[in-house]
């Protein structure tokens, strides 16, 4: 609940010729998720995002994966971003900033989030060739940046993600999503010391 009392939840449904998506989330959840995107590795990443950001997430997505998983994966990122923006409401009482450094064995990723209302993504450090690697048979490494862009631009977040190390593409992608989740968890958390909207402008 926000300090104004409204629940921080949202449901977004999106239907195009390329994908069909129904997503519900609760920013003040415990990380429970029920996710089916038809792309198993993406389900794995989004389940980790929900768990480590303490966001309850229910998601059904389907699309033209006979062409490529690209449309379905990116459109889910768009809808997730839209739902986050809606659920954040007027952002009253939030911490606003969050950062995290998350390892997964040899991989290490850093994420910094500012719930700024100004969409921006700075993303670097993935090893050469990562974007071309197929993870789980369907998901190319290039999709990680597409998803982060879609979330940042549709939620209105400033996001910096840096890969500091790693060799295994599964580990690298998962560490990136977990780092984003932990940073977002902190940024969206309600801080009892914050009175009103944490901006000198008075709006985020
Ligand atoms: Mn894994």
Q: What distance in angstroms lies between residue 170's CA and the mean position of ligand 1's atoms?
A: 6
Is pLDDT above 70 for 4?
A: no
Kind of pairing, strands 139-140 and 134-135? antiparallel
Q: What distance in angstroms lies between residue 108's CA and the mean position of ligand 1's atoms?
A: 14
> pLDDT digits over 119-160, tens only?
999 999 999 999 999 999 999 999 999 999 999 999 999 999
Is pLDDT above 60 for 3?
A: no
Q: What distance in angstroms lies between residue 35's CA and the mean position of ligand 1's atoms?
A: 15
Q: What distance in angstroms lies between residue 41's CA and the mean position of ligand 1's atoms?
A: 8
Q: What distance in angstroms lies between residue 143's CA and the mean position of ligand 1's atoms?
A: 16
Q: What distance in angstroms lies between residue 62's CA and the mean position of ligand 1's atoms?
A: 22
Read off the pLDDT of each residue in 161-186 and give the average, rounded to a whole number: 98
Read off the pLDDT of each residue in 156-165 and give the average, rounded to a whole number: 98
Q: What distance in angstroms lies between residue 126's CA and the mean position of ligand 1's atoms?
A: 17
What pLDDT is stored for residue 6 in this prediction?
80
Q: What distance in angstroms lies between residue 145's CA and the mean position of ligand 1's atoms?
A: 18
What pLDDT is stored for residue 5 in this prediction?
61
Query: What is the percent of the chain with per-residue pLDDT over 70, rounded to a whole number?
Result: 98
Q: What distance in angstroms lies between residue 45's CA and the mean position of ligand 1's atoms?
A: 8
Is pLDDT above 50 for 2?
A: no
Q: What distance in angstroms lies between residue 101's CA and the mean position of ligand 1's atoms?
A: 17
Q: Which CATH superfamily is domain 9-188 in?
A: Imidazole glycerol phosphate dehydratase; domain 1 (3.30.230.40)
Q: What distance in angstroms lies between residue 44's CA and the mean position of ligand 1's atoms?
A: 7
What pLDDT is stored for residue 121 in this prediction?
98
Q: Where are the domains of the chain?
A: 9-188
Is pLDDT above 70 for 1?
A: no
> pLDDT digits over 56-87, tens only?
999 999 999 999 999 999 999 999 999 999 99
């Amino acid at each position: 609940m926000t300090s104004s009392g409204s629940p921080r939840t949202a449901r977004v449904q999106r239907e195009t010729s390329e994908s069909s998506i129904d997503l519900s989330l609760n920013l003040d959840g415990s990380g429970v998720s029920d996710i089916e995107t038809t792309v198993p590795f993406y389900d794995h990443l989004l389940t980790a995002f929900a768990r480590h950001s303490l966001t309850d997430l229910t998601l059904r997505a389907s699309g033209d994966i006979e062409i490529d998983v690209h449309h379905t994966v990116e459109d889910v990122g768009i809808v997730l971003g839209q739902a986050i923006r809606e659920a954040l409401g007027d952002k009253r009482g939030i911490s606003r900033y969050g950062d995290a450094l998350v390892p997964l064995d040899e991989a290490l990723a850093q994420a910094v989030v500012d719930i700024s209302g100004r969409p921006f993504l700075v993303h670097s450090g993935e090893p050469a060739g990562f974007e071309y690697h197929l993870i789980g048979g369907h998901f190319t490494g290039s999709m990680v940046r597409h998803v982060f862009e879609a979330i940042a631009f549709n939620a209105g977040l400033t996001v910096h993600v840096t890969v500091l190390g790693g060799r295994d593409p599964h580990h690298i992608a998962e560490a990136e999503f977990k780092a984003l989740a932990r940073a977002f968890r902190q940024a969206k958390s309600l801080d009892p010391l914050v009175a009103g909207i944490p901006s000198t402008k008075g709006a985020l």
